[in-house]
Structure 1
Amino acid sequence: MIHNANQIATYFAAYPHDEAVAGVADHLKHFWEPRMLAQIKAHVAAGGEGLHDLVRPAVERLS
């Protein structure tokens, strides 16, 4: 889960920050199943250790 989220963030890292966060959030929303979203949200809520800097704000947009 962390690895997958970080790969998505790495793809969007070249975009301007706001676009990158939106891109990560959009990808998670459209391609991750509810169980995966619940897991990443719980991981972020627990501190988000190991996540790319773009993942936390993207996940927070989904909440």
Structure 2
Amino acid sequence: MDDQNLIDMANRIGDFFDSMPDREEALAGIADHIHRFWEPRMRRALLASLDHPDASGIAMSGIVKEALVKHREQLTPAAASFA
């Protein structure tokens, strides 16, 4: 998974929602979009890049960081169960 590409895609999503007048609605919209349209390994990699910001070369926008922190539980994929 290319972390720089994931951050760039998340930043573009953030740019779209950043124009919304209601900040809470924008944050929820970012999280909802990532949750609905990104597969679990993409979300894991994006959250890992949030935890280790120096590992990638591209900066994550402030609104994306805020959305990931606020909605981290919703965005964290459930652990796979092998029964």
Same fold (TM over 0.5): yes
TM-score (norm 2): 0.68
**CA drift at 1:62:** 2.8
Q: Which runs of 5+ in 2 are unaligned?
A: 1-5, 74-83
Match of 1:8 among 10, 13, 18: 13
Once residues 33 and 18 of structure 1 are traced to their aligned partners in structure 2, the CA distance between those partners, rounded to angstroms, is: 24
Given the alignment of the two structures, is residue 59 of structure 1 paired with residue 68 of structure 2, yes or no? yes
Once residues 17 and 24 of structure 1 are traced to their aligned partners in structure 2, the CA distance between those partners, rounded to angstroms, is: 11
**RMSD value over aligned CA atoms?**
1.5
TM-score (norm 1): 0.88
Once residues 62 and 23 of structure 2 are traced to their aligned partners in structure 1, the CA distance between those partners, rounded to angstroms, is: 10
Q: Which runs of 5+ in 1 are unaligned?
A: none
> Over alpha carbons, which structure has the higher Rg?
2
Which portions of structure 1, spanning 4 or more consecutive aligned residues, are displaced by more than 3 angstroms? none
* Residue correspondences, number: 63
